[in-house]
């Protein structure tokens, strides 16, 4: 909720079916993470891009939860072909709402950048905090006032205690001290994970992070830069697929023809140390082909684990052995579509 730049996600690569449009209106569907999806059945909410009012070049923007309840109302900068691409930059005053219909925030934007006073509310209607943004690409943020959920003021004019909540205000994500409008000292937080909580600390000086570390349930610390890191192989899935396929020695069928592995999907677990275990092939596969694929997988060791606030986690991966090609405009990009599922330690 403290992002200095909100453009309602970068929509420059929306899949065609995620953008449904008529002559003067477009509809874009989004998942919980704010990424475009193909249909309302996959969506958590959707955005309407409506024509500008008279004497105004800005488009009218309305977002709705899947239930139909209003999520956001505002305007977007009208420069560029918004109706074709779906890429919007909020501009002017924008009001957001919880699913209950109560107001969640009032924010002023200048071509996508927060500018001026941002006021955020608790689900019960009380003011949570006020933050000031200087605006522009190098915007500075000043933490002004903060209140607890009962309305008691705990930070006044940039000095005091600050509570930072998750996007739904379900739990305190971080808390620390503000001095002269800046975060200072140790800010401690927690992230619900499975049936446990990952704890972490950010060390601030004038709102700049000097260091940060996460702690697992045993208290072991892990330094981190990024809050979330997905399991990955070297420079990505394509590299893994290329390396894996180079290691697979395809057996021949009774007619002497090399067997085809393109329809196969491999399943394995990336452990906390990056090692690969529990490898298997999904579906019915010739035993010789299965053995060849698993032998090739055994030679691919350069995985990094999923990490939340630096803490490594076990991840189950399902990976197709066939490349999937997508085309955007005149350019083509080969992507490998694979699925990852974070596991409990005892799964």
- 236 and 188 co-located in one domain: no
Of 296, 321, 316, 320, the residue nearest 306 (C-alpha):
316
pLDDT at 169: 87
User: Quick check: is 5 in a domain?
Assistant: no
User: Quick check: is 244 in a domain?
Assistant: yes
CB 36 within 8 A of CB 43: no
For residues 261 and 246, what is the distance between their CA atoms, to the nearest angstrom?
A: 12
Instruction: Give the Cβ contact number of residue 157 at 10 Å.
Output: 12
User: Quick check: is 110 in a domain?
Assistant: yes
Q: In the chain, how many domains are there? A: 2
For residues 338 and 335, what is the distance between their CA atoms, to the nearest angstrom?
A: 9
Domain encompassing residue 238: 232-343
Instruction: Give the Cβ contact number of residue 308 at 10 Å.
Output: 20
User: Quick check: is 70 in a domain?
Assistant: yes
For residues 291 and 296, what is the distance between their CA atoms, to the nearest angstrom?
A: 9
Q: At what angle do helices 287-297 and 237-247 cross, to 10 degrees?
A: 120
pLDDT at 324: 63
- 187 and 242 co-located in one domain: no
- 142 and 39 co-located in one domain: yes
- 187 and 83 co-located in one domain: yes
- 61 and 140 co-located in one domain: yes
Q: Which long-range contacts (CB under 8 A, 24 or more apart) does 231-238 make?
A: 231/270, 231/303, 231/304, 231/305, 231/306, 231/315, 231/317, 231/340, 232/303, 232/304, 233/300, 233/302, 233/303, 233/304, 234/302, 237/319, 237/335, 237/336, 237/338, 238/323, 238/334, 238/335, 238/336
Q: Which of 139, 168, 193 is the last residue of a domain?
A: 193
DSSP H or E stretch at residue 244: helix 237-247
- 93 and 39 co-located in one domain: yes
- 143 and 47 co-located in one domain: yes
User: Quick check: is 258 in a domain?
Assistant: yes
User: Quick check: is 245 in a domain?
Assistant: yes
Q: Low-confidence residues of the chain, pLDDT below 70?
A: 1-23, 79-87, 323-336
- 67 and 171 co-located in one domain: yes
Token readout for 105 is 């925030």
- 251 and 182 co-located in one domain: no
pLDDT at 37: 84
- 95 and 176 co-located in one domain: yes
Q: What is the pLDDT of residues 325-344, one digit of tens each?
A: 554 444 344 556 788 899 98
User: Quick check: is 39 in a domain?
Assistant: yes
Token readout for 173 is 């994500």
- 48 and 170 co-located in one domain: yes
- 45 and 165 co-located in one domain: yes
Of 145, 84, 155, the residue nearest 118 (C-alpha):
145
Token readout for 191 is 């992230």
Q: Which of 193, 210, 243 is the last residue of a domain?
A: 193
């Amino acid at each position: 909720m403290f992002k200095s730049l909100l453009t309602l996600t970068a929509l420059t690569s929306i899949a065609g079916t995620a953008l449904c449009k008529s002559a003067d209106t477009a509809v874009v569907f989004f998942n919980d993470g704010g990424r475009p999806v193909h249909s309302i059945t996959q969506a958590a909410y959707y955005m309407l891009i409506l024509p500008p009012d008279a004497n105004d070049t800005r488009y009218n923007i309305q977002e709705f939860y899947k239930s139909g309840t209003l999520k956001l109302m505002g305007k977007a900068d009208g420069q560029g072909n918004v109706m074709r691409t779906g890429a919007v930059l909020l501009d002017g005053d924008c009001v957001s709402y919880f699913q209950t219909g109560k107001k969640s925030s009032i924010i002023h934007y200048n071509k996508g950048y927060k500018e001026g006073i941002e006021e955020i509310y608790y689900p019960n209607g009380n003011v949570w905090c006020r933050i000031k943004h200087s605006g522009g690409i190098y915007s500075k943020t000043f933490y002004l006032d903060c209140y607890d959920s009962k309305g008691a003021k705990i930070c006044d004019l940039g000095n005091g205690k600050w509570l930072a909540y998750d996007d739904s205000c379900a739990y305190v994500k971080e808390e620390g001290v503000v001095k002269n409008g800046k975060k200072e000292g140790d800010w401690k937080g927690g992230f619900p994970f499975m049936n446990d909580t990952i704890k972490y600390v950010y060390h601030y000086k004038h709102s700049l992070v000097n260091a940060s570390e996460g702690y697992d349930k045993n208290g072991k610390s892990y330094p981190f830069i990024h809050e979330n890191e997905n399991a990955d192989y070297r420079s990505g899935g394509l590299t893994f697929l290329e390396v894996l396929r180079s290691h697979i020695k395809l057996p021949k069928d009774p007619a002497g023809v090399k067997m085809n592995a393109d329809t196969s999907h491999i399943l394995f677990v990336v452990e906390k140390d990056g090692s690969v275990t529990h490898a298997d092939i999904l579906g019915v596969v010739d035993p010789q082909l299965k053995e060849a694929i698993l032998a090739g997988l055994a030679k691919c060791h350069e995985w990094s684990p999923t990490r939340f606030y630096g803490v490594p986690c076990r991840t189950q991966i399902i990976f197709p052995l066939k490349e999937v090609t997508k085309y955007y405009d005149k350019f083509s990009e080969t992507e490998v579509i694979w699925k990852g599922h974070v596991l409990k330690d005892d799964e």
